[in-house]
Amino acid sequence: MNTHATAPILPGALLGVLGGGQLGAMFATAARRMGYRVAVITDTADCPAARHADRLYVGSYDDLAFLTQAAAGVAVVTFEFENVPAAAGEALAAAVPVRPHPAVLSTTQNRAREKAFLVERGIPCGRHAVVESAAELNAAVAEIGLPAVLKTAAFGYDGKGQRIIREPAAAEAAWESLRGVTCVLEEWIDFSCELSVVAARGLDGAVNAFPAVRNDHANHILDVSSVPAGLPVEVLGEAEHLAATVLSELDVVGVAGVEFFLTADGRLLVNEIAPRTHNSGHLTIEACPTSQFEQQVRAICGLPLGATQVLAPAAMANLLGDRWANGEPDWPAALAVPGVGLHLYGKAEPRPGRKMGHLTATAATAEQAIAAVRQARDALG
């Protein structure tokens, strides 16, 4: 079927989402509020999106017959989780429009293909080399220099599948620790801050970007996001322009998050592309007229895209499973902080590093919003 058919999918239709995590849950919440029904297609029965689903299909992403069955009666399918076999998206696309198209998934779920896409389109990114052997890694280290970061080409996120190489003698151990799979060696970026832009592209090719968000990470996992980002208007405009270029060149229909480094000398470099809603975009629920999740519904259904301006400065702080180490967190203490809202994802088992929820605050300034979510998180104990 043509994923670019222009007839809008109207409320009452059944929307499919591949993946059952918190992004799927928040997508389903937005879709159902707008009058749609939601079919969650997942490999895990006890998942955050299950409680928000009108239909729940549980099976293997490798089972093409299961996926074809799940697509029955669904008007369109989107992704909340990109680390699925490319064949899964293709199997669904044979039965129903899939937005973004599985070809987008194929490009963005593999760092080597993603970097090649950026280079071919002239979109700025850091120097890098694809390496498939220890010898190629040594040659890349000699060319790119150290320190550098070695990343697996496929299935890496939140710092997984990454090794920092600081001296040539450490290259072989890094290669072996990643089990000798295809990797990308990336130059170490001397960045002043990290940014992301969540943007949507409709069936008509129109792109609407949310304002750039400033991101702070801890242990390779997003810790706090805030908006406005407090950077020169030229930098913010360039970030939104580059994000729009990425979505247009990839032919995305839906929502994607584009992560950037802002270098110490003022250059923007694309770090990663996520072909779905993005952790840093959670604050749009409170901060913008249209959340990233409603925007995803609008985009894949061929509806006009919603307004994205920031109504109030906002910040978001992730809640990881570490917060449960000493028992149930002190929720009343956190919610006593003015302006703070709580989002828990309904995951049964808190594990260190696992995203269990987030806190959001709006305030008169981004700095005040950041202080509020940090204060609230600290109050959890």
pLDDT computed for residue 2 by the predictor? 42
Do 19 and 36 share a domain, yes or no? yes
Does the residue 105 lie in any domain?
no
User: By residue range, what is the domain housing residue 132?
Assistant: 127-187
**pLDDT tens by residue, 275-331:** 999 999 999 999 999 999 999 999 999 999 999 999 999 999 999 999 999 999 999
Do 201 and 154 share a domain, yes or no? no
Ranges of residues in the chain whose predicted pLDDT is under 50: 1-4
Do 195 and 336 share a domain, yes or no? yes
Do 172 and 196 share a domain, yes or no? no
Does the residue 9 lie in any domain?
no
Does the residue 110 lie in any domain?
no
The CATH code of the domain that includes 28 is 3.40.50.20
Contacts of 107 (CB under 8 A, 6+ apart): 113, 114, 117, 250, 273
pTM, whole model, 2 decimals? 0.96
Q: For the chain, what is the domain count?
A: 3
Do 242 and 352 share a domain, yes or no? yes
Do 257 and 180 share a domain, yes or no? no
What are the C-alpha distances in Å from 126 to residues 170, 191, 203, 263? 22, 11, 31, 10
The CATH code of the domain that includes 180 is 3.30.1490.20
Do 334 and 267 share a domain, yes or no? yes
The CATH code of the domain that includes 252 is 3.30.470.20
From 303, 125, 105, select the one nearest 202 (Cα to Cα): 303
Do 225 and 331 share a domain, yes or no? yes
Do 176 and 195 share a domain, yes or no? no
